[in-house]
């Protein structure tokens, strides 16, 4: 059975749209793979450390020559890279904070991008499908006034394809603050429609991937 690596990064839980939509994906995935494995990391409640010099240098030093600090840093990177390599499919949920992704998700990416292993030519995770749910409080789509402020999906598309050579699919619920921001009251219907479509897209993508791995 297939293995799913599920990453959530929103600081919120009960009110997080990205978590709601990743939950829809995961529910559909698990219904198709009841005997499968899900590796789950909640980067808000259990953040991974930011990449340090010990982690960078340690990967290029023979194991027997590493300092204790380098050995610990490399062990973490290897653990996270192992999870990524074990996964048949990856699911990432992220909000947009200050026009980009949370620092917790950036920290995870910096740890798992290991040139010569997961990243670079012939990387060990090349071609794996990753579904990214990125929720936005406002509207940042093509043609909107703030299109040029969008550095969440833009960044993730570049790093996931350019560094890890993953097959990336985005699910993007927008205007998620419409029901809590009075200034956005006129956008509530559009926000609800965007959220509903995100749930539909997530479920459909999960079904598609389930069929792909069952073939």
Q: Which pLDDT does position 179 carry in this prediction?
A: 94
Residue 215 has pLDDT above 80, yes or no: no
pTM: 0.96
d(CA 138, CA 215): 39
* Mean pLDDT to the nearest integer, 82-92: 98
d(CA 171, CA 80): 24
* Cα dihedral sign, 41-26-102-184: negative
Is 137 within 8 Å of 146 (Cβ atoms)? Answer: no
Residue 101's closest CA among 61, 153, 41? 153
H/E/C letters for each residue in 184-208?
A: HHHHHHHHHHHHHHHHHHHHHHHHH
Is 111 within 8 Å of 77 (Cβ atoms)? Answer: yes
Q: What is the pLDDT of residues 136-174, one digit of tens each?
A: 999 999 999 999 999 999 999 999 999 999 999 999 999
């Amino acid at each position: 059975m297939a293995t799913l690596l599920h990453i959530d990064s929103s600081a919120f839980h009960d009110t997080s749209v990205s978590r709601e939509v990743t939950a829809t994906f995961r529910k559909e995935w698990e219904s198709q793979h009841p005997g499968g494995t899900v590796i789950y990391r909640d980067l808000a409640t259990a953040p991974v450390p930011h990449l340090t010099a010990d982690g960078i240098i340690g990967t290029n030093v023979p194991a027997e020559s590493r300092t204790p600090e380098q050995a610990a840093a490399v062990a973490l990177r290897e653990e996270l890279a192992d999870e990524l390599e074990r996964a048949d499919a990856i699911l990432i949920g992220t909000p947009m904070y200050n026009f980009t992704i949370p620092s917790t998700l950036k920290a995870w990416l910096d740890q798992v991008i290991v040139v010569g292993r997961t990243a670079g030519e012939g990387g060990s995770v090349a071609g794996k499908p990753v579904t990214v749910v990125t929720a936005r409080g406002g509207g940042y789509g093509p043609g909107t006034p703030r299109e040029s402020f969008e550095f969440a999906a833009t960044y993730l598309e570049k790093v996931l394809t350019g560094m890890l050579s993953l097959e990336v699919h985005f699910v993007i619920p927008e205007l998620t603050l419409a029901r809590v921001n009075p200034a956005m009251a006129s956008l509530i219907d559009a926000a609800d429609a965007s959220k509903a479509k995100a749930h539909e897209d997530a479920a459909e993508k999960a079904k598609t991937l389930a069929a792909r791995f069952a073939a």
